Copies of this chain bind each other. A is one copy, B any other.
Amino acid sequence: MLHIGTKHVDITDGFWKKRQDINKDITVKAVQNRFLETGRFDAFDFTNEKIAHIFYDSDVAKWIEGVSFILHKERNSELEAFIDRIVDLIEKNRSDDGYYNSHFLRKPEERWQHRSDHELYCAGHLMEAAVQYYKATGKDKFLKLMEDYADYIYKVFITEKSAAFKTPGHEEIELALVKMYDTTGKKKYLELSKHFIDRRGVEEEPWIGSNYNRYNTQDFLPVRQQRTAEGHAVRASYLYSGMADIAYRYKDKELLAACKAIFSNIVNKRMYITGGTGSSYLGEAYTLDYDLPNTKGYAETCAAIALAFFAQRMLLSDADSVYADTVERIIYNGMLSGVSLDGKAFFYENPLEIQPVLNNRNVATTLTERNAVTQRKEVFGCSCCPPNVIRFIGAINEYIYSYNKDTLFINQFISSNLEYENIRAEISTEFPNCGKVYIKVSGINKVAVRKPYWCKYLKLVINDVRSKYSSKKGYIYINLPKGQNRIRLEMDITPRLVYSNPKVYDNSHKTAVMRGPVVYCAEAVDNDFPLNNIVFGKELNYKTVKSDQLDAYMLDVDIKIPQSIDDLYTFTPFKYRKKTLRMIPYYCFANRGETEMRVWL
């Protein structure tokens, strides 16, 4: 399987066109300004008194990569000049051996000494940025600089073994090196990636600083023996993405088996309904099976994005809809919640429940318990998520189409045009606001369309004739008869009640609502009664209401709530009264001021 890249796919209209426009017109500039204010760009000219933070390079690199996805479709001389200057600074300031790091070039004696300090992570992000900037603009200076850097890293870690550690403390370079290989054809980058993966967990490596154990960095076992998702969720899913890449390119069944087991562990036991992962703020980490607390849920935006990377790469080796289903769960929920509707503010963490009143819990002491942030911020110190959102939304084109032998796969329902070799395709849809998807193809007669997990009824119409179908591993395989090129999907997106596995401790007796792939939530700002103890009917009675403010469909759902009582405890069963609960898409939460929010009701 091959994913068809940004270059070949245009997003034409609908849900994602709007998001990409906001991304391009607002978010790119907003993040650029925050990075200018915080000295992240200045770090590259080495005139600052203050030494750059160890992760500044990666923030800037992700922003460049995000901008590059946009440049694919619309060149921009101002942004390119800005980026070219950074590339020039890298060229000017790098070491003769090809090394570049804004932090460690100012502490040369510490180069490759601290496994904990994101050195290879920053290198990886710079490589990803260079690859994408080259693909978008054809300018190869940045890519060449990064080839030198990658060659040098190969020398340090494979030829000379001269670093104080053997594998990255924060994984990321594994998948970046695969992109370097794909772009340059140099096999040694693939070897280096595989080397980092195969060395990982073979022995305990030195670590400086606290907050570390071998679970947190996924090196508690050699990765081929791992079967559960552990530790820092972003590091973990970046590693798993690299593993899936290597498993695919080397046809490495053992590594693929590890990837499959880990993926299964995530989606069947350790993932929020929103696609968020890493339920603990401590270590930003995966914890235990079924431990998915709502108010305390961390679910970092970057972890959702990283899981989408992993899922998308698993699809390369295994045409199973669970992977594109997972991407879909993430893009309409736990990733998209990371950015405000206006594109200017960001969540680092994405809890499934916010109780603002509990932030006052510590009135009686100066000690405070950690509470989830209730509002998106325009800037934060550890700013990995904002540029990650930019590059992810910028690259959404890559998640739609795949190609395998003679079959075109349609993984996501996004209005778009495809031109790939002699294949043409066009998707037109208001999805996820509507369940109808119109597809036209030419140059190929075999099409595989994903049947989403949430879809109870799907009607398939080929050239205006309703067709029977069966599905295999979640894909409907269609052989278009000669002269027929129009496929229409009518998917039932009627809102449905969702229940979590009874083992999920925090969702005991609770219910959620989804409409198609979109998880809904209730906010206090829309409802003049407590959101506690809400009881849904056995069937969901609802009205759909268009919100111009949110540019989304809200649901007005018939529910019951207990009548309020004075007693703290009572032997009298609650009397219930009927109410209408307004629900909004989860990705729209916290766009109207601080307010209580709940997904599980």
Give the B-binding residues of A (Cβ under 8 A): 210-213, 215-216, 230-232, 267-269, 271, 273, 280, 282-283, 285-288, 290-291, 355, 357-358, 360-369, 454, 456, 496-505, 508-510, 512, 530, 532-533, 538, 561-562, 564-574
Known interface pairs A369-B282, A533-B508; A287-B363 also in contact (CB < 8 Å): yes
Q: In the complex the two chains form, is A212's CB within 8 Å of B366's CB?
A: yes
Q: Name 16 interchain pairs, CB-CB below 8 A, sorted by A.
A: A213-B363, A231-B365, A283-B364, A283-B365, A287-B364, A288-B360, A496-B571, A497-B571, A498-B571, A499-B573, A500-B568, A500-B570, A501-B567, A502-B561, A508-B509, A538-B573
Q: A512 — which chain B residues lie within 8 A by C-beta?
A: 569
Q: For residue A565, give the distance in angstroms from its CB to the closest CB of chain B.
A: 6
Which of A210, A365, A503 gathers the greatest number of chain B CB atoms within 10 Å? Answer: A365
Q: Find A367's partner among B283, B355, B533 (CB 8 Å cutoff).
A: B283
Q: For residue A160, give the distance in angstroms from its CB to the closest CB of chain B.
A: 32
Complex: chain B residue closest to A212, CB-CB: B366
Q: How far is the CA of A311 from the CA of B433 in the complex (A)?
A: 59
Q: A503 — which chain B residues lie within 8 A by C-beta?
A: 530, 532, 564
For the A-B complex with A231-B364, A288-B358, A499-B573 known, give 13 more contacts whose Cβ atoms are closer than 8 Å.
A210-B367, A211-B367, A267-B568, A280-B365, A280-B369, A282-B367, A499-B569, A500-B568, A501-B565, A501-B570, A502-B533, A502-B574, A508-B510
Q: In the complex the two chains form, is A288's CB within 8 Å of B363's CB?
A: yes
Q: How far is the CA of A362 from the CA of B284 in the complex (A)?
A: 10
Q: In the complex the two chains form, is B288's CB within 8 Å of A564's CB?
A: no
Q: In the complex the two chains form, is B569's CB within 8 Å of A500's CB?
A: yes
Q: For residue A509, give the distance in angstroms from its CB to the closest CB of chain B.
A: 4
Q: How many copies of this chain?
A: 2
Q: In the complex the two chains form, is B365's CB within 8 Å of A505's CB?
A: no
Known interface pairs A564-B502, A567-B268, A571-B498; A232-B364 also in contact (CB < 8 Å): yes
Q: How far is the CA of A358 from the CA of B358 in the complex (A)?
A: 21
Q: For residue A35, give the distance in angstroms from its CB to the closest CB of chain B.
A: 29
Q: Find A287's partner among B280, B361, B561, B567 (CB 8 Å cutoff).
A: B361
Which of A454, A456, A496, A569 gathers the greatest number of chain B CB atoms within 10 Å? Answer: A569
Q: In the complex the two chains form, is B456's CB within 8 Å of A571's CB?
A: yes
Q: A497 — which chain B residues lie within 8 A by C-beta?
A: 571, 573
Q: A286 — which chain B residues lie within 8 A by C-beta?
A: 364
Q: How far is the CA of A568 from the CA of B211 in the complex (A)?
A: 30
Q: In the complex the two chains form, is B291's CB within 8 Å of A358's CB?
A: yes
Complex: chain B residue closest to A561, CB-CB: B502
Q: A501 — which chain B residues lie within 8 A by C-beta?
A: 564-570
Q: Find A570's partner among B290, B499, B570 (CB 8 Å cutoff).
A: B499
Q: In the complex the two chains form, is B213's CB within 8 Å of A366's CB?
A: yes
Q: In the complex the two chains form, is B230's CB within 8 Å of A363's CB?
A: yes
Q: A216 — which chain B residues lie within 8 A by C-beta?
A: 364-366
Q: In the complex the two chains form, is B361's CB within 8 Å of A280's CB?
A: yes
Q: A273 — which chain B residues lie within 8 A by C-beta?
A: 569
Q: How far is the CA of A361 from the CA of B271 in the complex (A)?
A: 15
Q: In the complex the two chains form, is B505's CB within 8 Å of A532's CB?
A: yes
Q: For residue A452, give the distance in angstroms from its CB to the closest CB of chain B.
A: 12
Complex: chain B residue closest to A290, CB-CB: B568
Q: A454 — which chain B residues lie within 8 A by C-beta?
A: 571
Q: How far is the CA of A156 from the CA of B105 in the complex (A)?
A: 65
Complex: chain B residue closest to A286, CB-CB: B364
Complex: chain B residue closest to A232, CB-CB: B364
Q: How far is the CA of A530 from the CA of B355 in the complex (A)?
A: 28
Minimum-distance CB pairs A-B, first 9: A283-B365, A285-B364, A509-B509, A215-B364, A231-B364, A282-B367, A502-B562, A287-B361, A502-B533
Q: How far is the CA of A503 from the CA of B562 in the complex (A)?
A: 10
Which of A362, A454, A538 gathers the greatest number of chain B CB atoms within 10 Å? Answer: A362
Known interface pairs A286-B364, A360-B288, A362-B287; A271-B568 also in contact (CB < 8 Å): yes
Which of A454, A510, A562 gathers the greatest number of chain B CB atoms within 10 Å? Answer: A562
Complex: chain B residue closest to A233, CB-CB: B364
Q: For residue A16, give the distance in angstroms from its CB to the closest CB of chain B.
A: 24
Q: For residue A287, give the distance in angstroms from its CB to the closest CB of chain B.
A: 5
Complex: chain B residue closest to A514, CB-CB: B571
Q: For residue A372, give the distance in angstroms from its CB to the closest CB of chain B.
A: 14
Q: In the complex the two chains form, is B568's CB within 8 Å of A504's CB?
A: yes
Q: For residue A381, give the distance in angstroms from its CB to the closest CB of chain B.
A: 18
Q: For residue A360, give the distance in angstroms from its CB to the closest CB of chain B.
A: 6
Q: A355 — which chain B residues lie within 8 A by C-beta?
A: 505
Q: A280 — which chain B residues lie within 8 A by C-beta?
A: 361-362, 364-365, 369
Q: A509 — which chain B residues lie within 8 A by C-beta?
A: 508-510, 533
Q: Find A498's partner among B215, B368, B508, B570 (CB 8 Å cutoff).
A: B570
